[in-house]
Amino acid sequence: MSAWDGIDEFISVATLGSFTRGAQALGMSTTHVSRSIMALEQRVEAQLFHRTTRTVRLTDTGRVFFEPC
């Protein structure tokens, strides 16, 4: 596993505001994208998104993480 695993997925979801649209843009399944981001969050030991059934928003930590990406 690379330290960069999940970064493309994170950027796509953060940019598009949706796991589904992020996955479609990358040509991946939503499940793969979700699991990749969960693994990334575990590695950085921080939640990067606020998730509800209807919305996905970056947390404050997620915004800081997204800036250099």
Which tokens is 22 given?
């992020």
What integer best gives the mean pLDDT of the chain?
94
- Taking the mean position of all CA atoms in its chain, how far away is CA 42? 12
CA distance 46 to 20: 22
Closest alpha carbon to 16 in 1, 37, 2? 37
CA distance 43 to 20: 23
pLDDT (average), residues 46-66: 95
Which tokens is 34 given?
């979700």
Per residue in 23-46, pLDDT tens? 999 999 999 999 999 999 999 999
Taking the model in full, what pTM does it have? Answer: 0.91
